[in-house]
Amino acid sequence: MDGVESQIAEWRAYVAKAPAVNGRDVDELEAHLRDQIVELDAAGLAADEAFLVAVKRMGDLNTLSREFAREHSGRLWKQLVLSGEDEPAPPSGGWVEALVFALAAAVAIQVARLAAQFPEEEAGWLRNISLFVLPFLAGYFARRRQLDTRRWVLTIAPFVLVAVVVNLYPYRAGSATELLVALHLPVVLWFAVAYPYMGGTIRSRDRRMDFVRFTGEWFIYYVLIALGGGVLMALTGAILEPTGAVSVERIVEWVLPSGAAGAVIVAAWLVESKQRVVENMAPVLTMLFTPLFAVMLAGAAVVYALTDLGGAFDRELLGVFDVLLVVVLGLVLYGMSARDPSMSPGWMDRFQLVAVVGALVLDAMVLGAMVARIGQLGFTPNRTVALGLNLVLLVNLAGAAWLAVRFLRGRVAFHRLERWQTSYLPVFALWAATVVAALPPLFAFN
Amino acid sequence: MHIDKDLVAASSTPLVLSILAEGESYGYAILKRVRELSDGELHWTDGMLYPLLHRLSRLGYVTTEWRTPPEGRRRRYYAITDDGRAALAEQQRQWVTVARALGDVWRGSGGLLTALGEA
């Protein structure tokens, strides 16, 4: 049997090379192969013949690994890695295409800046920034996914609509709603990018999850690029300033907008083509920060419960808690995408639940105190938005916590947690769109 | 007889769920049972069963566990869940409807069946 043992080992090593097949799958396939060999042996075949027949019955390995990849697309993070006959891989990583779109975005923002004479005169330019960048990202994906004409139109329509709405509203000078619109516009447009990203199939839950992953990875890459870019700009300034030829302000004025705009596309391209780098990073970040957040939030909840809540809250606190909930939601989503859905509940899931429940308890306390006082203070745009966002996030996290408890008890599959998040995505889009389109008229553009 | 590959693919989920409804099992044994049930007519490429099982597991239709039985080697066992039984019941309704429709129309055109029988 020694010959067969080494043949099995070779076969095993070969199967393990497929990116979507992990060690435990190979174990399972090997157990199957051995069962088959034993049975064929018993039927009177010689050991090496039995091995050959068993391998043949297992099927063509390329087809098999593609089938695994289709089921475990989360392990590959993308359908793009699937180089099968029905899904061609993009040629040469498409970096030229990415570069063209990045340059276009960089130029567009510069032209817009000069036209608005920023920073001498600010006016409405700042609230439009994302409108000069994200259409290029949408265009990049529309081209990459080879959308047909109807879908191109559907990709462009939201951008036009939003541009009209945002710029026709007569904001009063220094109005709060204008600032809120400026903050929510990128979120609305990001969801508009989701349409071409998903190739128009916005109902597909798997594609939605891909988009969530894409968002998380894009964020990591963007932060890394921003850090590197910041160092580069600071050094350039420090080196050139003594010559008196250029000032730091000039460099920042010219390089920062274009660099930041171009980096949006470049980061997207990196996510698309260099999956493996971030694939290793997201789990590490989650492993590192989930327990830390769990400890911090549990501790803070205890402190809040023990101290007197009455006068301690000022109006800014709700904003802080919105940020906290966004961060916790980010942790949940990162944890979700870093996780192998077929694994049974583990320690990380428990830590995550502690973090979510801690945040919920804290938020419920703050919210209770706020709602009681908002009646006396009245609704301002800022307060309305902070409260609304808080509720939207609270419902999401409460649902996630409830499902996580049921998952830890073995009542539901992990799949249900993913489904909750992907079904909830339109709520976020709707909320951001409401703030951009409905809030300013409601508060008379103040 | 060669069974069309789309038909094989469509019947694979209800077949696997039905086999698991008889009791928990592992990959190799499930395949043997499929062959037994179809008198060897239904041909699956062995490896393809596993992505299917993993999909059922992700959907929460089956639970899985690695175990080493007293006599034998370590294997991954699959057991059907309540969700899985519900999905199977739904599939059953669909297949019964399709089978009834085909049966009715074929009984109606007796000439065709005779012709096929003689061929």
The C-alpha atoms of residue A375 and residue A370 are separated, in whole angstroms, by 9
Q: Inter-chain contact A32–B74, Cβ cutoff 8 Å?
A: no
Residue with tokens 């970040």, as numbered in its chain: A285
**B58 and chain A: CB distance < 8 Å anywhere?**
yes
Angle at A359 between CA A427 and CA A382, to 5 degrees: 55
**B9 and chain A: CB distance < 8 Å anywhere?**
no
Q: Inter-chain contact A32–B59, Cβ cutoff 8 Å?
A: no
User: What's the confidence (pLDDT) of residue A189?
Assistant: 93
Q: Inter-chain contact B50–A416, Cβ cutoff 8 Å?
A: no
The C-alpha atoms of residue B50 and residue A34 are separated, in whole angstroms, by 15
Q: Measuring CA to CA, how many Å separate A163 from each of A30, A151, A180, A275, A430?
A: 58, 19, 15, 33, 17
Long-range (24+ apart) CB contacts under 8 A made by A67-70 are A67/B47, A67/B48, A67/B51, A68/A18, A68/A20, A68/A21, A68/A25, A68/B50, A68/B51, A68/B54, A69/A18, A69/A19, A69/A20, A70/B51
Partners of B25 in beta bridges: B78
Contacts B45 to A, Cβ<8 Å:
57-60, 63-64
User: What's the confidence (pLDDT) of residue A217?
Assistant: 84
Q: Measuring CA to CA, how many Å separate A31 from each of A34, A35, A392, B66?
A: 5, 6, 48, 11
User: Which range of residues forms the domain containing residue B102?
Assistant: 5-118
Angle at A350 between CA A348 and CA A351, to 5 degrees: 65
Tokens, residue A113: 């800046």
User: What's the confidence (pLDDT) of residue A365?
Assistant: 80
User: What's the confidence (pLDDT) of residue A432?
Assistant: 93
Contacts B55 to A, Cβ<8 Å:
71
User: What's the confidence (pLDDT) of residue A77?
Assistant: 45
Q: Torsions phi, psi of A303, nearest 5?
A: -60, -45
Tokens, residue A361: 């308890």
User: What's the confidence (pLDDT) of residue A280?
Assistant: 67
Contact between B93 and B15 (Cβ < 8 Å): no
H-only helix segments in A117-128: none
Other Cβ atoms less than 10 A from the Cβ of B94: the count is: 11
User: What's the confidence (pLDDT) of residue A80?
Assistant: 39
Tokens, residue A153: 């139109």
Contact between A138 and A188 (Cβ < 8 Å): no
Burial class (CB in 10 A: 0-12, 13-18, 19+), A337: buried
b or e along B52-65 (b: 16 or more beta carbons within 10 Å of the residue's beta carbon)? bbbbbbbbbbbbbe
Q: Torsions phi, psi of B26, nearest 5?
A: -125, 170
Contacts A25 to B, Cβ<8 Å:
50, 54
Reference A293, options A351, A365, A348, A334; nearest CA is: A351
Interface with B, mutate which of A21, A35, A407 (most B CBs under 10 A): A35
Tokens, residue A221: 């890459």
Contact between A298 and A328 (Cβ < 8 Å): no
Contacts A410 to B, Cβ<8 Å:
63
* Coil, helix or strand at residue A124: coil
The one-digit pLDDT tens for each residue of chain A (446 residues) are 567 888 888 888 888 877 777 778 888 888 888 888 888 888 888 888 888 888 888 888 888 888 887 777 655 543 333 333 344 444 445 788 888 999 999 898 888 888 877 666 666 677 888 888 999 999 999 988 888 888 999 999 999 999 898 888 888 877 888 888 888 999 999 999 999 998 888 888 878 888 888 888 899 889 999 999 999 988 888 888 888 777 777 778 888 889 999 999 999 988 887 666 666 677 778 888 889 989 998 888 888 878 766 555 566 777 788 888 888 898 888 888 777 766 778 888 888 899 899 888 888 887 877 777 777 777 788 888 888 888 999 999 999 999 999 988 878 888 888 889 999 999 999 999 999 888 888 888 77
Q: Inter-chain contact B46–A31, Cβ cutoff 8 Å?
A: no
Query: What does the mean pLDDT of chain B come to?
Result: 85
Tokens, residue B70: 């007293």
Residue with tokens 């709520």, as numbered in its chain: A427
Size of interface A-B (CB pairs under 8 A): 77
HSE (CB half, 13 Å, CA atoms) of A94?
Answer: 23
User: What's the confidence (pLDDT) of residue A177?
Assistant: 84
The C-alpha atoms of residue A138 and residue A141 are separated, in whole angstroms, by 5
User: What's the confidence (pLDDT) of residue A88?
Assistant: 43
Residue A21 gets the label, from left (phi > 0), alpha (psi -120 to 50) or beta, of beta
ipTM of the complex: 0.81
Domain count, chain B: 1
The strand order across the sheet containing B75-80 reads B25-26, B75-80, B62-67
User: What's the confidence (pLDDT) of residue A121?
Assistant: 63
User: How many residues are given for chain A?
Assistant: 446
Tokens, residue B22: 């008889």
Tokens, residue A127: 């609230």
Q: Sketch the domain layout of chain A as residue ranges.
A: 2-71
CATH number at residue B109: 1.10.10.10
User: What's the confidence (pLDDT) of residue B99?
Assistant: 92
To the nearest whole angstrom, how far is the Cα of B103 from the nearest Cα of chain A?
34
Tokens, residue A356: 């979510």
Contacts B54 to A, Cβ<8 Å:
25, 68, 71-72, 342
Contact between A242 and A62 (Cβ < 8 Å): no
The C-alpha atoms of residue A97 and residue B53 are separated, in whole angstroms, by 40
Contacts A412 to B, Cβ<8 Å:
60
Tokens, residue B119: 């061929």
Partners of A245 in beta bridges: none
The C-alpha atoms of residue A205 and residue A217 are separated, in whole angstroms, by 18
B43, amino acid identity: H
User: What's the confidence (pLDDT) of residue A176?
Assistant: 82
Residues in chain B predicted with pLDDT less than 50, given as ranges, are 118-119
Interface of A with B (CB under 8 A): 24-25, 27-29, 31-32, 34-36, 57-61, 63-64, 67-68, 70-72, 341-342, 410, 412-416
Identity of the residue in A28, A68, A341 whose CB atom sits nearest the CB atom of B58 = A341
Partners of B26 in beta bridges: B77
To the nearest whole angstrom, how far is the Cα of A350 from the nearest Cα of chain B?
20
